[in-house]
């Protein structure tokens, strides 16, 4: 199976991305328009198998010293084929000299370590107001 990674977002079908995330139970409540804003405000990679979106990754960076990796996702049935590694390597190639943070969930610590990430002593976070400014906070 050939997976193509694109960083030019001009042809991304944001509704298709939303559908793929919902189907894979990795939807965190953003509408297609909100997904578009998130990805367009970041350096992003979208992975395709044929016409289907099968992976995403994006990084928020100040372009100097700090970057934050988010939305790293590979469609469940295509995991353990190197898709996330390919996406993250591509993003990190543009971050020379920067400290890249990530909040790792799940059991893929081996992936992050193999890509050079190391555990940090403390991670803390908060949501300002409610998630996505919705009336009631949604589950992430
Ligand atoms: C984490 C995630 C992005 C990994 O995607 P992936 O495409 O399967 O990862 P890769 O195939 O590139 O993994 C490369 C290597 O990392 C390690 N790895 C990846 N996922 C792993 C897991 N669940 N458990 C143990 N090792 C794992 C393996 O060493 C793997 O190589 P191998 O299969 O040859 O042993 C994917 O499991 C996912 O989408 N999870 C849900 C979302 C998530 O947790 N995102 C990360 C937080 S931002």
Q: How far is the CA of 79 from the centre of ligand 1 (A)?
A: 6
Our mutation pick for probing the ligand 1 site, out of 26, 76, 79, 117, counting the most ligand atoms within 8 A of Cβ, is 79
CA distances to 23, 25, 61, 80, 134 from 77, in Å: 11, 12, 30, 9, 31
Closest Cα to atom 27, ligand 1: which residue? 108
Among the ranges given (24-38, 44-58, 60-74, 102-116), the one the predictor scored with the smallest mean pLDDT: 102-116
26 CA → ligand 1 middle, Å: 14
Per residue in 73-123, pLDDT tens?
Answer: 999 999 999 999 999 999 999 999 999 999 887 788 889 999 999 988 888
Predicted TM-score (pTM) above 0.75: yes
Residues contacting ligand 1 via CB (< 6 Å): 26, 72-74, 79-85, 104-108, 110-111, 114
4-6 β-sheet, strand order: 4-6, 43-49, 52-61, 66-74, 99-102
């Amino acid at each position: 199976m050939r997976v193509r990674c694109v960083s030019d977002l001009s042809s991304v079908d944001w509704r298709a991305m939303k559908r793929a995330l919902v189907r894979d139970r990795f939807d965190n409540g953003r509408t297609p328009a909100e997904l578009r804003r998130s990805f367009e405000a970041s350096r992003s990679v979208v992975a395709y198998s044929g016409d289907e979106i099968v992976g995403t990754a994006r990084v928020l960076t100040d372009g100097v010293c700090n970057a934050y990796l988010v939305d790293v996702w590979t469609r469940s049935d295509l995991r353990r084929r190197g898709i996330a590694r390919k996406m993250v390597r591509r993003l990190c190639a543009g971050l020379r000299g920067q400290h890249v943070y990530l909040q790792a969930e799940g059991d893929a610590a081996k992936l992050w370590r193999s890509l050079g990430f190391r555990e940090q002593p403390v991670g803390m976070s908060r949501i300002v107001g409610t998630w996505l400014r919705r009336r009631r906070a949604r589950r992430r």
